[in-house]
Chain A
Amino acid sequence: MKKVAVIGVGETKFGEHWYKSFRDLAVEAGIKSMEDANLERKDIGALFVGNMSAGKFIGQEHVASLVADHLGFSGIPCIRTESACASGSLAFRQALLSLQSGAYDAVMVEGVEKMTDIIGSQASLALMGAGDQEWEASVGLTFPGLYALIARRHMHEYGTTPEQLAMFSVNNHKNAVKNPDAQFRFEISVEDVLNSPLIADPLHLLDCSPITDGAASVLLATEDFIKKKKIKNPIWVLGSGQSSDTVALQDRKSLTSMFVTIDAAKKAYKQSGLKPKDIKIAEVHDCFSINGLVAIEDLGFCKKGEGGKFIEDGNISLGSTVSINTSGGLKAKGHPVGATGISQIIEIVKQLRGECEKRQVDAKYGLTHNIGGSGASCLVHIFGKEK
């Protein structure tokens, strides 16, 4: 199979961008990635855009052409991908497959979401579109509610505590302080989390990721292109895994383990020839603290049920056993749903290039983990400095 690497990255700051529109954000991130790789329009074969729900957030569909149009890329083949909060990583994987197929030599992959143009309750409804509309939203179940059901069951089966969940958010915020692109650049304590309002018991406000505007863009290219253009410091894609499961949480065999994560990770580990113990840095999908905890178990960083203790013993902090969410994660860097997967990839690429300054970790390999809905889709990617 053709070797493919990330050769350029660019993202907007994550947060509430009252003065920037969907297209402004997309163009800003796209141009940054072009400048980072020093490429021109003629080098780019296709554009992939990961976006969950522009239709509901800004009333705009047809966003792949919109982004191409405003980047000045008219004429380019462009593709929008949607897999709820995993839309960005899905765009990345489709771009990867297109390069491996030989269709293109270099492509741009963007993730974009503009979430703050509607009020919070409308955003909740839009996000609930990732669940089962007929059987979950219809009885009053919210997205925090879905993950609260997972958390309660995890506590019941394994004795996981609210304090251990809180520590996941605390770690994210600590890392976000060192990331200029993060939405929340301040530290929080376990007490802050436990004293914040309950949203859906046992999850508090500070167990939940925020509503965020943002865009992230990466350029992917084949080995031949990289050689021809003499591009320095490519970060190679070593493994790509994707899986799917029931959309409704009630239809899952287990509430405390995500089949999609286990399955996508198995595929990515196999392709890369690596094992969980080889991974020293990972960006995991912590839309809620419990999902970060379940992810580190299902990715194989610790045994099932021991995630709480693993976190409590300091195994996920910067430079420890496995540095989790050095970017600040979804909780503190922010979660502009369609952009999140690409933003995770950017963090791993910057880490492997050694560009993360105060939050820099020494690692040969890095992993990204991006979930859609309450676990109906998942993509796992593994990256390395060497082919």
Chain B
Amino acid sequence: MIKMVHRSSIPLHWRLYEPKYKLIGNKCLKCGESFFPPRNICPNCGRKGALKKIVFSGRGTIYSYTVIRTPLDGFEQQAPYVIGVIKLKEGPKIVGQIVDTEIRDITIGKEVKSVFRKIYDDSPSGLIHYGLKWVVIE
């Protein structure tokens, strides 16, 4: 059997440092659309676009959500956990865990903010992955 280890490379996390830890994306100065994660080319303007780095506010609303009850490897201890599609104030959508909130209190449209958290660990001696999760603002 082939043992699959997902996303365990350290450089993979280094190079995503800005968007993953700081919620940095970009915005096309030509069409005005913001992107998260940052894009290499503006999908609207192509090479004529002008992408500029921006820091997102970390504020948004719940656009959709689900409760994951059969988790991926590495997330077993957290199940059941809530994953939401968050619509950021600046426009783009992002998926992430919604935490510190009772499942029954989560509804579409509620306001959320980003928090820095541990995401999962590879194994007892493996990498610990950090990133952003989301909490409901009451």
Interface residue ranges, A against B (CB under 8 Å)? 56, 59, 117-119, 121-122, 124-126, 128, 133-142, 144-145, 148-150, 152-153, 156, 197-203, 248-251, 255
Contact = CB atoms under 8 A, between A and B. Distances in A.
B85 interface: yes
Given A139-B83, A152-B64, A250-B94, A121 B37 contact: no
Nearest to A122: B4
Contact of A149 (B64, B69, B72, B131): B64
B57 interface: no
A137 B72 contact: yes
Nearest to A124: B72
Contacts of A119: 1
Contact of B95 (A59, A125, A135, A152): A135
B6 A199 contact: no
A125 B71 contact: no
Nearest to B16: A134
A138 B131 contact: yes
B83 A140 contact: yes
Which 4 pairs show the lowest CB-CB distances between chains A and B? Answer: A148-B66, A153-B64, A140-B75, A201-B67
Contacts of B71: 140, 142
Interface in B52-98: 63-75, 78, 81, 83, 85, 92-97
B108 interface: yes
A59 B6 CA distance: 16
B24 to A, nearest CB: 14
Nearest to A125: B4
Nearest to A131: B95
A149 B108 contact: no
A328 B95 CA distance: 32
B2 A118 contact: yes
A137 B69 contact: no
A282 to B, nearest CB: 27
Contacts of A255: 63-64, 85
Interface residues of B, number: 37
Interface string B1-42: 111101100001000100000000000000000000100000
Contacts of B68: 140-142, 145, 200
Interface in B77-124: 78, 81, 83, 85, 92-97, 108, 119-120
B42 to A, nearest CB: 13
A126 B5 CA distance: 11
B27 to A, nearest CB: 15
Nearest to B76: A121
B121 to A, nearest CB: 12
Contacts of B129: 138
Contacts of B2: 56, 59, 118, 122
B91 to A, nearest CB: 11
Nearest to A149: B64
Nearest to B35: A251
B4 A149 contact: no
Contacts of B37: 134-135
Contacts of B81: 140
Given A133-B6, A134-B12, A201-B66, 12 more contacts: A122-B4, A124-B73, A135-B94, A137-B7, A139-B119, A140-B120, A141-B72, A142-B70, A149-B65, A152-B65, A153-B63, A248-B95
A196 to B, nearest CB: 12
Contacts of A150: 64
Most buried by B among A59, A201, A249: A201
B70 A200 contact: yes
